[in-house]
Amino acid sequence: MLQTDQVLELGCGTGSTALVLAPCVGAYLGTDLSDEMIAIAREKNAAEGIAHLRFDTFDLGAHQMDQQFDAILAFNLLHLVPDLNAALRRIDHMLKPGGVFISKTICYSSDWRGIALRAIMAVVPILRAFGKAPYAKITTIPDLHSRIDALGYEVLEQGNHPASPPRRYIVARKPV
Ligand SMILES: C[S@@+](CC[C@H](N)C(=O)[O-])C[C@H]1O[C@@H](n2cnc3c(N)ncnc32)[C@H](O)[C@@H]1O
């Protein structure tokens, strides 16, 4: 990212990543579905005083902004969005041509940790029925890549950090 970049972070939580990255870019908007998360993030930035860092409530599952950004970040978010393709289309709408989408998302693997994760996820709908868990749907690394490829994006960097169950790290550039 460049010192002049306008950056949007989706699902920023309490703003920990935003507070670290914002000093490196031109303007940074941290967003989250949760008013409570945003209130904490604002409090944290009131102590830090980073003038070009703002926090706002925003639901990627329902809305898109007409403003376009040089970079859009989504860390540990995409598995929480009910319609992943629709969310990716919204991200595409909010990203400038040539801009980068940087994501880290938990995915299934075929080792024992992946199998254990599938077993845990099988219980989530039951917990949800009792209001004890948020929506979550984990996919595989090939499926996640195929959805990003479908947008015509070029993958610049990829990796699994940590390796298992993989948190798939992807840096993908939108075509100009
Ligand atoms: C697992 S936390 C990750 C927080 C932070 N990005 C991190 O990596 O530490 C997921 C965050 O995404 C937010 N979130 C969930 N669904 C969302 C949605 N549809 N739109 C925006 N944020 C959402 C949650 O409120 C939560 O703060």
pLDDT band at 112 (very low <50, low <70, confident <90, very high): very high
Please give the pLDDT value at position 69: 98
The DSSP bridge pattern shows strands 69-75 and 6-10 to be parallel
19 lines ligand 1 (CB under 6 A): no
Whether the predicted model's global pTM rises above the 0.85 cut: yes
In angstroms, the first-to-last Cα distance of the chain is 17
Q: What confidence score (pLDDT) does residue 73 get? A: 98
The pLDDT-based confidence of 139 (bands split at 50, 70, 90) is very high
Ligand 1 site-directed mutation target among 19, 29, 36, 80, most atoms within 8 Å of CB: 80
Pocket test for ligand 1, best of 20, 21, 32 (most atoms within 8 A of CB): 32
117: Cα within 13 Å, side-chain hemisphere = 19
Domain chopping of the chain, boundaries: 6-108+137-173
CB 63 within 8 A of CB 37: no
- Residue 74 CA, closest ligand 1 atom number: 6
Per-residue pLDDT at 110: 87
Whether 88 is in the pocket of ligand 1, judged by its Cβ within 6 Å, is: no
Selecting from 3.40.50.300, 3.40.50.150, 3.40.50.261, 3.30.200.20, what CATH number does the domain 6-108+137-173 have? Answer: 3.40.50.150
Residues pairing with 167 in the sheet? 106
